[in-house]
Structure 1
């Protein structure tokens, strides 16, 4: 595999290399590495407590690793200040957390359109894009409802719509189908995969679900905070 001058595999969109992270005295990551190319679907699996969610948060720039390097589009993400990482995440990284993290005071359409509004998109255009994704994910009927008025599954699909509305270059999803029944989970996974492939974006999914892992092109396993085996990135 060819390398960039910085030692990053060529063609890689997002990479975490040698990541370490501890909370208090408890290590969450102990040298995990993951490289992902545009258009690739990767499943991250492992036992509870193996560091999967922490790895995703480091890759998204939400959490700064104690050691190691995170690069996105060839740029060091872990070196940026909080505001710069937030701006990059808002425009280029779609993040789906396990419990949705919707703004409780906003309706579904307002939650989904919020990233666009923050980037200066007109309110009407943002609302139209939000309604498109809510419809595509099968939750158009809750467009005007607030999170407290939704089921857990509905709220999770609203959160996925919010992650997709900016047409990000990469989507990072933590158990995106965990709160969904089997039929809805399959439909939601299909939309996630289709949406990212349509735009050439990458999709990284943390999951315990074998069906979700089977839909990925590659599976990366974490054990005790470290990647099992060498992660060489996507196929050349």
Structure 2
């Protein structure tokens, strides 16, 4: 059950701003599968109170006097393994609050039924960031952190099965905490037969003598080595 700490003065008329870390169960599972704890790190502020869900902190809240006509979007320096914090999506009375620097024409196009906002809720141009000022016109605002997966480089090189470096290479690919990589390519090098792959992930080396391999979704860069056997 969601629980918020009681405000300092409940009798004083105020507006509540609820900041949610917005870590979904699916995101937690992706992070856990990478071997990492799915804990968000944030900079605590004394003027904000924690929001708990089943004894786990899921956000921060503050009550602002209604005489304050604007609320400055807070900076909590949020970090989450495998993800990049993009900004905040703000909801009031079940409606998205569009940043004031977006023109009415853009907002109308963007907030339509088939818009990207309704499909994903994420677009850097339509998110609020720390230091933006929100006009205080409602009793309660729900402010949700928005995340996108970080991309980690998968870098290619080659060598013989006897660990002699070779010249074959390939443009790098990427993996994320949510997406694995299957390099659908068969390396070719004159005078050699392709034998398989060696992947190096977190200093762990694994060799697969197959034409294709799977680089699992995860956190961190990968080195993928094409193995060749000399033709005599």
TM-score with structure 1 length normalisation? 0.23
Instruction: Answer with 1 or 2: which has the greater Rg.
Output: 2
Tell me the TM-score normalised to structure 2 length.
0.24
More strand by share: 2
Larger fraction in helix: 1
